[in-house]
A = this chain, B = another copy of it.
Amino acid sequence: MKIGKVLIANRGEIALRIHRACQEMGIRTVAVHSTADAAAMHVRLADESVCIGPPPARESYLNVAAILSAAAITGADAIHPGYGFLSENANFAEMVEAHGFVFIGPRPEHIRMMGDKIAAKDAMRRLGVPLVPGSPGALASLEEARQVAAEVKYPVLIKAAAGGGGRGMKVARDESELEEAWRVARTEAKAAFGDDAVYLEKYLDRPRHIELQVLADTHGHVVHFGERDCSLQRRHQKLVEEAGSPVLDAAQRNALGAQVTRALQQLGYRNAGTLEFLWQDGQFAFIEMNTRLQVEHPVTEMVCGIDLVKEQLRVAAGERLGYGQSEIRFQGHAIECRITAENPDTFLPSPGRVTTYHAPGGLGVRVDSALYSGYAVPPHYDSLIAKLVVHGATRAEAIARLRRSLAEMVVDGIETTLPLHLAIMEDPEFQAGDYTIHWLEQFVARRNAGG
């Protein structure tokens, strides 16, 4: 099936990213946008654009009827959902396909499966992917929680089955904390997701977040593009990502990759996806699978020399991968800084007009951003405004390159996290690769205390 025109059901830098891949492949693009994004870069660059609603995402970027109408009107062949918004909505994927469009992403049943964290873990356990020890499913009672916690040993984590974004997630460091954690997690789960089912797992106290990028065609071939280390998070939001992880060697990467690709082949998975793991003391524990392109995909592209979005489009059109795992090589090191429109100390959002935007340049520097001088960052959406990604022959060179390019970059008129990223790059612990998923929170606290 030939894809001649793609509707991009997203906004910001990822809409621009998808547009660029399409344009380089000779595929026409349709930008759909809210009234708040009428002057956005991807809207200006797209071959066609359709305004689909007012600023609130619920009435525009989450408005399935408007997006499908726009696809019908413009004669699009396929829809790329990007990340966030409708990208992991199985009903949307089904409706896209039911209306005769190609959904550039996984099969709806796999989106649904991975959207339910318990079902996802069940599937992965069955398929031989390593998991963190914990309850086999939702907990029937506090008593069951006590039993499982005693088995896997404290500290433990109680999590909403329908959860995400850190809501409905509580730690119990010992048995005395369990009952309260159980109650609060259930209450939050009910409030946030309308479902108070919770499960329990061993709480890893100093893990890294390491994830594996996979890609599958519709002919049964699955490959992986190595790992990303995304341990640098604040409130479960990633800030800095690396490929590869400072703690993994080729043998560990290959072993995990083999387990995962075998599992996804059995599952009959399609298109791109990412399996997220906690890693500690040489052990991986699957936590969830993202059935979409991820924000941090560029670091993988830069070490592997592939264009993941083009691969998504090729696979969605029914093409074969055309290469095997052994042809995927990893060269050098890549790091991404997510620059957001936030105060770098308080993280208060700072939307508004960008008076001057100046991107850094030179060897090994990539900027994915929809900013331009004079652009007003709207207050309605995510605060991510730019991804600064560098590649270097070594991790040390990549860090040096980030320091110099962060110093060259200018986003004036609004507050951004550029100074925070510069401070991270200058930190000896970060430079040594010596961090866990808790490091960044502590670093920010130290920075704010130190003044």
| Cβ-defined contact, A23 with B363, below 8 A | no
Given contacts A23-B404, A400-B25, A404-B23, contact A361 B369 (CB under 8 A): yes
Complexed CA–CA distance, A306 and B368 (Å): 23
Indicate whether A97 reaches chain B with its CB closer than 8 angstroms. Answer: no
Complexed CA–CA distance, A358 and B372 (Å): 7
* Smallest CB separation, A407 vs chain B (Å): 8
Complexed CA–CA distance, A401 and B22 (Å): 11
A373: B residues at CB distance < 8 A: 356, 358, 373
| Cβ-defined contact, A362 with B397, below 8 A | no
| Cβ-defined contact, A400 with B26, below 8 A | yes
Complexed CA–CA distance, A16 and B363 (Å): 11
Indicate whether A298 reaches chain B with its CB closer than 8 angstroms. Answer: yes
Indicate whether A155 reaches chain B with its CB closer than 8 angstroms. Answer: no
Main secondary structure of the interface of A (DSSP, over half): mixed
| Cβ-defined contact, A366 with B365, below 8 A | yes
- Residue of B20, B306, B363, B404 near A307 (CB, 8 A) is B363
For chain A residues 32-64, which have a beta carbon within 8 Å of chain B?
Answer: 45
| Cβ-defined contact, A362 with B331, below 8 A | no
Indicate whether A393 reaches chain B with its CB closer than 8 angstroms. Answer: yes
| Cβ-defined contact, A393 with B305, below 8 A | yes
A298: B residues at CB distance < 8 A: 363
For chain A residues 96-145, which have a beta carbon within 8 Å of chain B?
Answer: none
| Cβ-defined contact, A20 with B404, below 8 A | yes
Complexed CA–CA distance, A100 and B331 (Å): 39
Q: Who on chain B is nearest to A401 by CB?
A: B24
Complexed CA–CA distance, A367 and B364 (Å): 10
Indicate whether A17 reaches chain B with its CB closer than 8 angstroms. Answer: yes
A401: B residues at CB distance < 8 A: 24
Q: Who on chain B is nearest to A297 by CB?
A: B363
For chain A residues 370-393, which have a beta carbon within 8 Å of chain B?
Answer: 372-373, 393
A148: B residues at CB distance < 8 A: none
* Smallest CB separation, A108 vs chain B (Å): 29
| Cβ-defined contact, B25 with A363, below 8 A | no
Q: Who on chain B is nearest to A372 by CB?
A: B358
| Cβ-defined contact, B400 with A24, below 8 A | yes
| Cβ-defined contact, A20 with B362, below 8 A | yes
Given contacts A20-B404, A24-B401, contact A363 B363 (CB under 8 A): no
Q: Who on chain B is nearest to A301 by CB?
A: B363
Most chain B beta-carbon neighbours within 10 Å: one of A26, A332, A361, A401: A361
* Smallest CB separation, A47 vs chain B (Å): 12
Indicate whether A316 reaches chain B with its CB closer than 8 angstroms. Answer: no
* Smallest CB separation, A235 vs chain B (Å): 28
Indicate whether A359 reaches chain B with its CB closer than 8 angstroms. Answer: yes
A408: B residues at CB distance < 8 A: 45
| Cβ-defined contact, A397 with B363, below 8 A | no
* Smallest CB separation, A339 vs chain B (Å): 13
Q: Who on chain B is nearest to A362 by CB?
A: B20
Complexed CA–CA distance, A23 and B369 (Å): 24
* Smallest CB separation, A425 vs chain B (Å): 12
Q: Who on chain B is nearest to A389 by CB?
A: B363
| Cβ-defined contact, B361 with A367, below 8 A | yes
Bits for A1-34, please: 1 = Cβ < 8 Å to B, else 0: 0000000000000001100100111100000000
Most chain B beta-carbon neighbours within 10 Å: one of A20, A366, A367: A20
Known: A45-B407, A305-B332, A357-B358. 13 other contacts (CB 8 A): A23-B403, A23-B404, A24-B403, A24-B404, A25-B400, A45-B408, A305-B393, A307-B363, A356-B373, A358-B372, A359-B359, A359-B361, A362-B368
**14 sample A-B contacts, Cβ–Cβ < 8 Å, listed by A number:** A20-B363, A24-B397, A24-B400, A24-B401, A26-B400, A45-B408, A301-B363, A305-B332, A305-B393, A307-B363, A357-B358, A358-B373, A362-B366, A362-B368
Binding site for B on A (CB under 8 A): 16-17, 20, 23-26, 45, 298, 301-302, 305-307, 331-332, 356-359, 361-369, 372-373, 393, 397, 400-401, 403-404, 407-408
